[in-house]
Amino acid sequence: YCATCDAPFFKDQKVVVIGGGDTAIEEALYLTKFAQEVTIIHRRDRLRATKILQERVFSNKKINFAWDSVVTKILGNEKVEGILVQNKKTGEEKEIPCQGVFVFVGNVPNSKFLNELIKLDQKGYILTDDNMMTSQEGIYACGDVRKKLLRQVVTACGEGATAAFAAQKYIEEIKGVSYK
């Protein structure tokens, strides 16, 4: 589910958020406006989210945690009725009743098809310069497929504008109509 889109459908219900980064914590906090209870399942013993988000989530009385845990099964036939989690350290399994599951566990760039054309980092993110040009002259990249620190809509939009402007300048230079 998408918390921003689907949270109102879970009014006064129990939901689970899987993940421990900024997106997972932001969405968990948003869900507390609607849900009766939010349980965050995280495979580690601490969150990766920013300090301010951690302070907010730890002070929210509607949020519970299952640390060092992974979801092994979503329960229910026609609809979600709960999840089964396993603690990675103890091996203990427990059932958590819930009506919704929201997954925010990272992403993998869809860039394998570019492997022979441009340089990628070891995780598959595209390497660019400050103007968004890749290792192949005339090819630009922007957004979450690019190697960068912050993956948010606002950064992708800014990179898109930079890439478009740089590509326009590149084409103008090729045509010999560049305005330097």
Write down the architecture of domain 112-172 according to CATH.
3-Layer(bba) Sandwich (3.50)
Q: How far apart are the two ends of the chain, measured CA to CA in Å?
A: 48
Please say if 98 is a catalytic residue.
Answer: no
pLDDT digits (tens, 9 = 90+) for 11-26: 999 999 999 999 899 9
pTM score > 0.75 for this model?
Answer: no
Active-site option among 2, 45, 68, 129: 2
Closest CA to 47 of 72, 71, 73, 28: 28
pLDDT digits (tens, 9 = 90+) for 118-176: 999 999 999 999 999 999 999 999 999 999 988 778 899 999 999 999 999 999 999 98
Query: Using an 8 Å Cβ cutoff, are 57 and 82 in contact?
Result: no
Please say if 5 is a catalytic residue.
Answer: yes
CATH superfamily to which 3-103 belongs? FAD/NAD(P)-binding domain (3.50.50.60)
Class of residue 144 by CB neighbours under 10 A (exposed 0-12, middle 13-18, buried 19+)? middle
Strands 63-66 and 37-41: parallel
> What are the residue ranges of CATH 3.50.50.60 in the chain?
3-103, 112-172
Please say if 12 is a catalytic residue.
Answer: no
Query: Using an 8 Å Cβ cutoff, are 105 and 27 in contact?
Result: no
Percent of the chain with pLDDT over 70: 98
pLDDT of amino acid 179 = 67
